[in-house]
Amino acid sequence: MTESTPAVVDALPETSPFARPWELDLELPDFAAVAPADIEPAVRAGMAAQRAEWEAIATDPAVPTVENTVAAVERSGELLGRALTVLCALTSATDSPELDALEETLAPDLAAHEDAYSLDERIYRRFKALDELVQAAADSPTGAPVDADGQVIDAETARCIRLAVEEFERDGVALTGPDADRLRAINARLSALSTRFGTLSTKAMHAAGVENFTATPALVTTTTHAERVALLNRSLSRGLSGEYDTRAIVLEEAGLRAERARLLGYPHHAAVVAAESAARTSQAVSELLTRLVPPAMANASRDAETYAARMAADPDTLPGEAFGPADWLRYEEAERKERFGIDDATLAPYLELNNVVERGVFYAATRLYGITFHERPDLAAHMYAPDLRVWEVRDGEGPDAHLLGLFVGDYYAREGKHGGAWMDSLVEQSHLTGRRPVVINCLNLTKPEAGPTLLTWDNVITAFHEFGHALHGLFADTRWPSASGTNVPRDVVEFPSQVNEKWALHPQVLASYARHVDTGAQLPDSLAEQLRSQGAFGQGYATTEYLGAALLDQAWHTLRPEDVPADVAAVEPFEHATLSAAGIDDALVPPRYRSTYFAHVFGGGYAAAYYAYIWSEVMDADTTDWFRTDGEGGKDGDFGLNRWAGERFRSEFLSRGDSRDPLVSYRAYRGRDPEIAPLLQRRGLN
């Protein structure tokens, strides 16, 4: 099975950096050693190598076992994984038109490559045989299942097998003939369209000079109403015309996903996605979203009246100018300043980037989990930009502490970098491969020409959020790579990151990092208390704009093929009709993302899954209550910032990945299923 791999790898030039595993610590990719021309040969050789590995598994005459089937599949694709990790990192975080074009060229070939596995009935039958062995043992009093090698199939492996069977079936392994051919064509086209959408939406964002979401922060500091309207219109009009028009892509993706769902036997694409998620059904998703809209919109409308009055009294407001969505952020911030004595300008001197990361994000992780951070500038020199930083993460203190993994921080915006913030795994943990995790956080902070980098409060929350994803990857402790770290259902993956946000406001954490950039003075207690006292302030707008985007995602992906509009001019009316039917006034609160720049959905992996953020927040809010009560571990007033609570959350949830049902992991520390009441209270929706 593996004998074919060296021959394919040897076909690469001797000088190719991909011809052997990375030599840096923990196989950190050596970006500095890679030239753009190195990548395509490595990707194509990697696909060929993995195809050979899959063929060897499929044609193995031996009875299926854990080793010759599960482990063989999980080990496959080493070269391809290395090459794609580098390609994806460079196209998402650097300005490389050559690699953007390569990514688009490769997209249909990579889709066909994935189909070669997911539609291979021979490999499916091998997993199915192992699954039947597990099921037979479950119905028998004789004990645990044992494969033909005499290996006991433990619970983690049994779950890996069951999930593989479900994925094969959900991906259409039973299709044959023209239906199978059509499925392959759809998958290839969707991959190409998604890649193209990502490229166009990123270019449109940079061309418009805005953030990736609708309500750009510059609206706060833009003085005149007319200038604010012009700025918001630039944001809202992205993808609606010109060289970056994405409307045709939106319609084609929606139509192809609907057709694909029908081929697979589902009523629509949202049902396919829900079937592999914690939600289980698209009806459950719809019920949650529609339950939240009325109170959220009511709160937003009430706030709008307050801000309209404030705008009317503003001397910068001209006669005839009326409050609208372009004015929201400016007057919300003014209201915040008046009611709580804080705004971004007041807080910024206390929120310096290095302090936030090292004395805030890292400090909280050390208090909770006992991990320590040790910077490695020698490794940072091998990254793709000079302002990245790399830390060793160790379990404990001292030189003998176990090396857990590596953490890479890419905090600054640059030309060509995708908008928003994200975490990615550069190396995934696995006991099978013996690898330890290497994870990266990417933000989009504006780098000053000189002096310190001062953050907004939203930037601080984003740093804590993304590091929650990083912890999920760093604490991974599973045998199978496919179950490691953040490889969990979409509506679970945001949960650890949202939980980690809560530590930004913890009194001891805030006191550690919120220090004046010039004097080192701690953020005054009065400001810290006012910061914490905001409660549900602003949540009417924030919840409504999020729900608007989530509802658009669901609307596009619950269409039947024949119901998808054919004319690009129908995109805007479709959006308005969808939001109006749900009870959202989009003339007052536009969605966080319009369809034409909704990269999560049309350029990424969140199609019919953007609801995941609010679904995860149900668990997050409930877990935050757990940290404050049961998680205090002795009621010493630390609100859960202690090793007892941290170790329990780490061992029962963060380390498990998808090696067991995430709901089982949740119950293991919480003692019950999540309840929605804490979320409603947090967002002022009860």
Which of 268, 286, 288 shows the shortest CA–CA distance to 557?
268
The neighbour count for residue 241, using CB atoms within 10 Å, is 11
Rounded Cα gap, residues 455 and 60, in angstroms? 57
- Containing 424, the helix (H) or strand (E) segment is strand 422-427
Tokens (6 digits) for 580:
């109006």
Rounded to 10 degrees, the C-alpha dihedral 285/593/89/503 comes to -70
Which of 22, 313, 260 shows the shortest CA–CA distance to 119?
260
HSE at residue 46, side-chain half, CA atoms within 13 A, is 27
Q: Give the three-class secondary structure for 427.
A: strand
Tokens (6 digits) for 220:
């706060």
Which candidate in 253, 466, 501, 617 is catalytic? 466
Residue 466 appears among annotated catalytic residues: yes
Phi, psi angles (nearest 5°) of residue 444: -135, 55
Rounded Cα gap, residues 497 and 467, in angstroms? 7
Tokens (6 digits) for 548:
């608007």
Rounded Cα gap, residues 379 and 393, in angstroms? 13
In contact, 42 and 82? CB cutoff 8 Å: yes
What residues are paired with 385 via a beta bridge? Answer: none
Place of tokens 């020698």: 378
Rounded to 10 degrees, the C-alpha dihedral 471/474/477/481 comes to 110
Residues identified as active-site: 466
